[in-house]
Structures are given as C-alpha cells and as structure tokens.
Amino acid sequence: MPVRIALIGTGAVGKGILKALSEKDLGIVLTGVADSRSGDIRGEGIVPSDLLKRKKETGLCGDPSLHAQDVVQNAPYDILVEVSPTDATTGEPATGYIRTALSRGCHVVTSNKGPVALHYHELKQEADNAGVSLRFEATVAGAIPILHTLGESLGGNTIKALYGVLNGTCNYILTRMAEEGLSYKQALDEARTLGYAEADPTYDVKGIDAAIKLVILANTVLNRRISLDDIDITGIDLLTEEAIRLAEEQDATIRLIGEIIPEKNLYRLSPRIIPRYHPLVVQGSLNVIIVRTDLAGDLVFSGKGAGSLETASAVLGDILSIRDRYAGGN
C-alpha cells in the first residue's frame, strides 16, 4: 500500500526528493506540497515530474492563495515531510507545521535542523503521545546514516568521544582554497551554486550549522540536554588564506572539526590543523565522523554531507522506514 506524503519546502532538498520520486517508483504518493509562496493539495496524487516542471517555469509549486499551513492542516497524508530552510533562532515556521502534523496523528520526517535542535524533547513527547514517529536522519551529515547507526546499531555502546567534519559547505571551501588556491569568496560562491550552503550561508561559515548538528547528536542519540549556548563555536569566516597555506607547507591542512566528549561535557567546534592523511581530512562536500565506543572500538563514517539528492536519500530512508514499521498506514 503506497504511503502518502505532504512535502513542505521545494528548495535543494525538496527538489532532490521530487527528482528521486520522478525517477523511481518507491511506493510514495505526494498528496500535498507547499513552498514559501504557494501550495497544492490533491488526494489523487501530484505527479513529481509535473511539479518540478511547474516550479521551474513559474517559480511556484501551486496556488498562491494556499499557504503551507493550509497544506499541513488539510492535505490527506500519512507523513509530513518538512524540508524548509532552518531557522536556528526560533525553529519556525517548521516547528508549528510539525506540531500540527503530530496533532493530526501523522508521522513527521524532517531535514530541518531548527525544530530538532531547539525542541527535540517536547516534539518527541508529542510524537510518542500521538503514537507516531518523528525522524530526522537528514539533519546530521547528509547522506550518512549516523543517527540510525548510533541510536540503533551501536545502541549497546557507550560513546566515549565523537569527532567530525559536519558541514559540507565549509569543507568544500577549505578544500578548494587549499587545492585550487581559490579565494574564500569564490569557494563560497561555488558551494552556494552547488546547493550545499544553507539559505543563509552565514550559518555555515560561522559554524552555527555544524554546531546545531552537535546539539542534535548530543540530545537525540547521546541522551543529553544541551543547547547551542553549550557549544564553544569558532567558524571559518575569519580564517585567512595565509593560515591555510602555512598548514599546507607543514604537510597538514585545516578542517572545521566538531567534538563531543560526553563524560567531560565537552562540546566544541573549531578549525584545526590536521595532518594531511588523517581520516578526518576528507575532500569537498564530504563529511566524516569518528566515533570512539567502549564495545565496538573506533568507527569511521564518511559520505556526502550536503547536496540535493544526497540529503533526499536520508529523507526517503526515513519515509520508507516509517512505512515499513507501520505497514497498512495509520
């Protein structure tokens, strides 16, 4: 039986989902869609390729009189797929959409970091009360299934430490500056064009995006209750081309590294000089996470941390996992 979704957000992630749905039959029917300026509801299903075409030609996904909240409130769906841009200060309007969907007894899958970083414990409680799932694999490290792996596959372990490159945009910028001698601005422009950067790229370069991912990791799979204020954050926006060149001369390079050491309550994000062949030195938009555990030892996970189809991969995995868990719909 197909699962019905309503999609909120048709930016890089939303388009990736629509592209995947238009190319593969995954048993997912789109019954509602909204962007920041329009919406559409069709119980019989919206054809993803038609929607992509309409968006490209008109810049809209549907009727300008239909707001995202109308779609969330009224479309017939099993899972709300919320992939609008992150607001790290309020988490809105996405948090409101998620709450509406949960109160309707619908599952939620999101790539939006704001609601999860700011309100995870309350939203999880609301989902539990409603007997539905709230999943957000795409919020951390793009295509890498790190939340699932830490929360389920490594569930019997104590996490001693976690180190990672968690922002594809910064990693892309640092790679291009070191390898091609691009200026910071040129490299950032490229990252934006490639769809890696946030709608507001200062979130990336000032370290906010990667720090939010540390908050999500800590609060969701490491059983902590922290906020952005608990993280010591330094971004790459003030890093000079000279600093990168000096590191390269010492057979090293600079990467923006996130670090969690739970037993010391240590949460830090900062640019570090790393030997060139260290596993934390990944290239371009890749992310990497090294996890130190008591039972499984050290594990390294690497993959694309940003990008349209790569992030869509994580969203689709969450949708299909909910469908399989609640086979028959809710």
**Which stretches of the chain bind ligand HSE, using CB under 6 A?**
142, 167-169, 196-198, 204, 209, 305-306
In the residue annotation, 304 being an active-site residue is answered as no
- Beta-bridge mates of residue 286: 304
In angstroms, what is the minimal distance from the CB of 166 to ligand HSE? 7
CB atoms closer than 10 angstroms to residue 235 = 22
Identify residue 266 by its one-letter amino acid code: L
Rounded to whole angstroms, how far apart are CA atoms 9 and 18?
A: 11
Identify residue 241 by its one-letter amino acid code: E
- The DSSP element (H or E) to which 266 belongs, if any, is strand 266-275
Rounded to whole angstroms, how far apart are CA atoms 105 and 125?
A: 13
Question: Looking at beta carbons only, is 77 or 163 nearer to ligand HSE?
Answer: 163
Residue nearest to ligand HSE (CB): 169
For the chain, the maximum distance between any two Cα atoms, rounded to a whole number of angstroms, is 61
Rounded to whole angstroms, how far apart are CA atoms 65 and 70?
A: 10
Identify residue 66 by its one-letter amino acid code: L
Tracing tokens 């409130």 back to the chain, one arrives at 73
Question: Looking at beta carbons only, is 108 or 132 nearer to ligand HSE?
Answer: 108
Question: Looking at beta carbons only, is 8 or 106 nearer to ligand HSE?
Answer: 8
Question: Looking at beta carbons only, is 78 or 82 nearer to ligand HSE?
Answer: 82
In angstroms, what is the minimal distance from the CB of 170 to ligand HSE? 7
Q: 132 with 105: CB under 8 angstroms?
A: yes
Question: Looking at beta carbons only, is 62 or 305 nearer to ligand HSE?
Answer: 305
In angstroms, what is the minimal distance from the CB of 305 to ligand HSE? 5
CA angle 9, 14, 20 (to 5 degrees): 155
On the CB side of 130, how many CA atoms lie within 13 Å of its CA?
A: 22
In angstroms, what is the minimal distance from the CB of 27 to ligand HSE? 26
In angstroms, what is the minimal distance from the CB of 267 to ligand HSE? 18
CB atoms closer than 10 angstroms to residue 238 = 11
Question: Looking at beta carbons only, is 32 or 258 nearer to ligand HSE?
Answer: 258
Marked catalytic residue, from 113, 206, 213, 304 = 213
- Beta-bridge mates of residue 298: 292
Tell me the three state secondary structure of residue 136: coil
In angstroms, what is the minimal distance from the CB of 216 to ligand HSE? 10
Identify residue 229 by its one-letter amino acid code: D
Q: What contacts 180, CB < 8 A, 6 or more positions away? A: none
Question: Looking at beta carbons only, is 91 or 305 nearer to ligand HSE?
Answer: 305
**252 backbone dihedrals φ, ψ, rounded to 5°:** -135, 180
Q: Can you read off the two tokens belonging to residue 223? A: 């059983």
In angstroms, what is the minimal distance from the CB of 62 to ligand HSE? 26
Q: Catalytic site residues?
A: 213
